[in-house]
A and B are shown apart, each in its own frame.
Chain A
């Protein structure tokens, strides 16, 4: 049959975390990027590294949407679900719309596995899948066949089965095999037997799909019109790491990244540790407090001091962020948010650290807060955070989240020399006799960042309140109040750095959707669709949460209704109500999963129809 042209495809692969789901997903993603499609991904893995095999809470998933058009989300409902076992089917079936394809590994549908997954009868036999197109493939058996004459143990052979499925998917969606073959050659360069086995299984899966009638036809997705350049498929965490390293390079300041491992932020430390040959300095501290304080120490010593963590770690860093506010030293803190409070949902995404980032310190302790909207923006956000922190000598918090940190998209690799240069001076601006460590730049209010080791400029700073003029420790009441105002004013002035807010859609209309962070893809896709249907809906997306963009009140004024979708109970809504005194409709989802496009679309329609409640949440 002729290939079927489709504009976009969403696939979800699911199985035990030991089935190699994330590897299957990331390989498919790499080949898809090379095939020239735009894409977005959503890896969704369980908190347990190895939950008991075959159980529903051990199910790991990886979803990707790819298209010839602009892709902003990993897709609402999959067109195709690959279920490696009954548990994976059980967990994911509810997300399928009728008519979707389900590829099942029939070998795993044993009585024991069905029972473990909570199926009372075999869904392949009792008609529960009648509204889907079911593709039954005995993946385990076929993999074993392909490896018959190789001296592999049964478990070794079993571990190859994800590549059989990958081979099938490559045929179905006309992806090239070569990128994965190259990956296999690299990975198993020193293990010829495994190299041979994985190569064979990938090719066997591909050939199986081609010859088996089960798969009627291939699906063709056009190449996306992507601007020329070098692209890399990149997760938000990798992008953040690169953004920090790039800022270090462009400012001529070595990056000192100190961190304590925590999901889902650990990849930043891991990525940066690999960049040590390029002058990046990493320090895995004994806890989050040590990490942030070491970063402040490095910053005092003239480095670009950065730390990264997730919510529970940000809570521990609280006091030290206050120290950097008081000492007026540059500091960047990347918070890859996860479900909370407490240990919460370590591997799931959430946006509930916004108010912690803004206010989670004692005393009047203002900091700058940025939020990237896409995995790729984690690069620019990290870069911007470093530039702002060094210019104003304030802590800048970057609120990424698990969805952005682990999700990926094709990203155009910028040329280092084309990135803005970050000019930082350590010049005291006066001879030693008249040096005052708290003399301020009249424009930015930043104090001089004089590093230790400059003879004659020895100075003492720290966490105690300082005299505004001399920088000596001071407990004077009026001085303290003046300093509180100064520190607040300094952060308020950072608003000058915020570019004009761009509005998606018309400058006025019936409803404005205001989002921040990782909800960007779902909001934008939904608003574009609604506008195509003729609805007067616009959207703005905030990358600057403190200070807020100065033009925001003016934009909000032009819409009678404002809807704020967030993965929390309404933290941005709360902030906007306080700042702009407008009724805001909140729309929360706190399920550890991102919004679907359809959820936003429906909520907007409800609101337009007056069903949202005046100040509903």
Chain B
């Protein structure tokens, strides 16, 4: 970034037992969506009257009110706000003092600002994902990330991981090949609802049926974002899209139910607002063997919200706050999402089943005994036999 982080003025309150972390706002990266301001539990933030160079109003912090809860850090889709441990703060449970954004070094900050629109929820989900990744205990080089095509598909380009940006719809089969060849890797698929369940729908159901060892993170914005707001397999009846100008008439998928009936062993749904739960779900999914699936409901202000006159990203986040109902363990048959209706969230499925590779290895051992050599990672450099 060309402008250095603009630190806010230190607070004046008396020294607390724990030195309060300080909020840092990257002034130029902000796109003024207002998420941080709206969802700060202490009302410590407000949008500034000043513009940044892109013409947005970034937030200003009232340090007296901020308690360093990190909520804004997780919810900001632009990675433009973070808590920093104050100079001389006592070490926290043996951890290094926190100096940077939670998402670093798993994000390629040099690629910011990203392509997503102001108020788009995708950035928030990536924020949660990087935090989940850094806390899940899996070393970075053991993670592979695969995306399809679409706005969400761009995630592959922003993570500091081995990642691959496939063609439209084909993230799951690519990830399958990668995961089968490299069973010690955790392969994550990160893509949109159209990519994964329209053009890639066949791969989705079969990977779930096989219980392939993949974590599939699907951002559901109810529409095709990248191509201009056409109807997706998730567009609710009555919602408008650029190809359903009078309202969609096809019944949409209930993706949680689809995944469960096809064989997924972990199914959860959260919204971009539920950052803490989402981060936890992502951690669980990353540590789960088998086909784990997380559906994230996220605002697409540029298309879904605009075409349906539902306001901006912040309006949708408020809608999530007011209309979500957490029902862990809910029967997935009952969790379809009606247009502008109640959104049931939670962890719906979490069970143990052998993966494709487990089953194949068992079968082969049954048939061949010790002659069977289980799949392992290919040899690295220097090990090739002559």
Contact = CB atoms under 8 A, between A and B. Distances in A.
A196 interface: no
A251 B384 CA distance: 7
A296 B185 CA distance: 16
Given A293-B170, A297-B146, A276 B177 contact: no
Contact of B144 (A289, A319, A427, A452): A452
B170 A320 contact: yes
Nearest to A303: B181
A286 interface: yes
A424 B381 CA distance: 9
Contact of B141 (A276, A296, A455, A460): A455
14 contacts: A254-B181, A285-B176, A294-B174, A295-B177, A296-B174, A297-B181, A300-B174, A301-B181, A302-B181, A302-B378, A455-B141, A458-B141, A460-B165, A462-B164
A463 B165 contact: yes
Interface string B157-197: 10111111111011011111111111011000000000000
Contact of A301 (B163, B166, B378): B378
List the 5 closest pairs (A to B, CB-CB), nearest first: A462-B165, A297-B177, A252-B384, A452-B162, A294-B177
Chain A CB within 10 Å, residue with most, of B157, B368, B384: B384
Interface of A: 251-254, 256, 258, 276-277, 279, 281, 283, 285-287, 289-291, 293-303, 305, 319-320, 322-323, 327, 421, 424-427, 451-455, 458-464, 473
B175 A297 contact: yes
Nearest to A421: B386
Contacts of B167: 293, 319-320, 322-323, 463
B42 interface: no
A256 B181 contact: yes
B380 interface: yes
A301 B141 contact: no
Interface in B297-312: none
A283 B177 contact: yes
Contacts of A320: 167, 170
Nearest to B139: A455
Contact of A289 (B161, B162, B170, B180): B170
B373 interface: yes
B276 to A, nearest CB: 27
A75 B32 CA distance: 79
Contact of A279 (B140, B142, B373): B373
A453 B372 contact: no
A452 B380 contact: no
A281 B180 CA distance: 9
A320 B168 CA distance: 10
Contact of B176 (A297, A421, A426): A297
Contacts of A460: 156-157, 159, 161-165
A494 B206 CA distance: 38
Contacts of B377: 301-302, 453
A245 to B, nearest CB: 14
A297 B165 contact: no
Nearest to B376: A254
A301 B383 CA distance: 16
Of listed A251, A252, A297, A426, residue having the most chain B CB within 10 A: A297
A461 B177 contact: no
Contacts of B164: 297, 300, 327, 460-462
A453 B379 CA distance: 12
Nearest to B110: A472
Contacts of A298: 177-178, 180-181
Contact of A294 (B149, B157, B180): B180
Nearest to A461: B164
A320 B182 CA distance: 21
A273 to B, nearest CB: 11
Contacts of A286: 202-203, 206
A107 B26 CA distance: 92
B378 A303 contact: yes
B381 A252 contact: no
Most buried by A among B159, B167, B181: B181
Contact of A252 (B144, B178, B179, B385): B385
Chain B interface helix/strand/loop/mixed: mixed
Contacts of B163: 458, 460, 462
Given A254-B181, A301-B178, A454-B141, 7 more contacts: A252-B386, A253-B384, A283-B177, A289-B173, A290-B203, A298-B181, A451-B380
Residue of A253, A276, A322 contacting most chain B CB atoms (<10 Å): A276
Contacts of A426: 380-381
A253 B175 CA distance: 19
A305 B174 CA distance: 11
B371 interface: yes
Nearest to A290: B173
A291 B381 CA distance: 27
Given A277-B373, A319-B167, A458-B162, A453 B173 contact: no
Interface in B276-313: none
Nearest to B379: A252
B176 A461 contact: no
Given A286-B202, A426-B381, A451-B380, A461 B173 contact: no
A37 B373 CA distance: 39
Contacts of A453: 141-142, 162, 182, 184-185, 377, 380
B248 interface: no
Contacts of B381: 425-427
B180 A293 contact: no
Given A256-B181, A302-B181, A452-B141, A297 B173 contact: yes
B344 to A, nearest CB: 30
Nearest to B177: A297
A258 B176 CA distance: 10
B339 interface: no
B181 to A, nearest CB: 4
Contacts of A319: 167
A458 B161 contact: yes
A82 B339 CA distance: 70
A491 B297 CA distance: 45
B71 interface: no
B173 to A, nearest CB: 4
A253 B384 CA distance: 7
B375 interface: yes
Nearest to B204: A286
Interface in B87-110: none
A311 B363 CA distance: 33
Contacts of B172: 290
B136 interface: no
Nearest to B373: A279
A277 B165 contact: no
Given A258-B177, A293-B177, A287 B202 contact: yes
A253 B141 CA distance: 20
A395 B297 CA distance: 38
Contacts of B335: none
A458 to B, nearest CB: 5
B117 interface: no
B337 interface: no
B91 to A, nearest CB: 26
B364 interface: yes
Nearest to B209: A286
A256 B160 CA distance: 27
A460 B380 CA distance: 19
Contact of A293 (B160, B174, B378): B174
Given A277-B371, A277-B372, A301-B378, A458 B140 contact: yes
A459 B89 CA distance: 36
A256 B181 CA distance: 7
A297 B178 contact: yes
A285 B173 contact: yes
A538 to B, nearest CB: 41
A473 B163 CA distance: 13
A459 B162 contact: yes
B4 to A, nearest CB: 24
Interface string B349-382: 0000000000000001000100111010111110
